[in-house]
Amino acid sequence: MEAVQARAEALLGTVDVWAVCPHGAHDGCPCRMPAPALVTAACRSLGLPPSRVTVIGCDDSVVEAALAAGAHVIRLPRPDPAHRLPRPPCLLTACRAAAGPEEAAGLLLP
């Protein structure tokens, strides 16, 4: 996790909030994605409404959680080539796609 955070911040600069659910899929945690609680908690920490927040992720559960919270999404391809299955394009206007972290940064930064 620390390596991912370091790489993201090397590409994007300082990230104000890192929100992580350490629980497993069967732990029944309410912040486990695709539930929106982790996204809404991060928004509260930022003092921003979800409509002013962009979530970047490669997993369907991340996209679902962000959209359920009312946030914007940039979808990245999964890093593991074995999981790079063709995906239908995201038809929701709040969901954009990027080929990688550098392109996602370009979508966020002016």
What pLDDT score was predicted for residue 80? 67
Q: Are 76 and 102 in contact (CB under 8 A)?
A: no
Dump pLDDT digits (tens) for 42-74.
Answer: 999 999 999 999 998 888 888 999 999 999 999
Chain centroid to CA 41: 13
- For 95, the domain range is 2-108
Using DSSP, state whether 96 is helix, strand or coil.
strand
Residue with tokens 């409509």: 51
CATH of the domain at 52: 3.40.50.1000
Tell me, what's the pLDDT at 83? 53
Q: Is the pLDDT of residue 15 over 60?
A: yes
Inform me whether the pLDDT recorded for 30 exceeds 90.
no
3-state class of 13 per DSSP? Answer: coil
Report whether 12 contacts 108 (CB < 8 A): yes
Q: Mean pLDDT, the chain, as a whole number?
A: 82
Count of domains forming the chain:
1
pTM for the full predicted model: 0.71
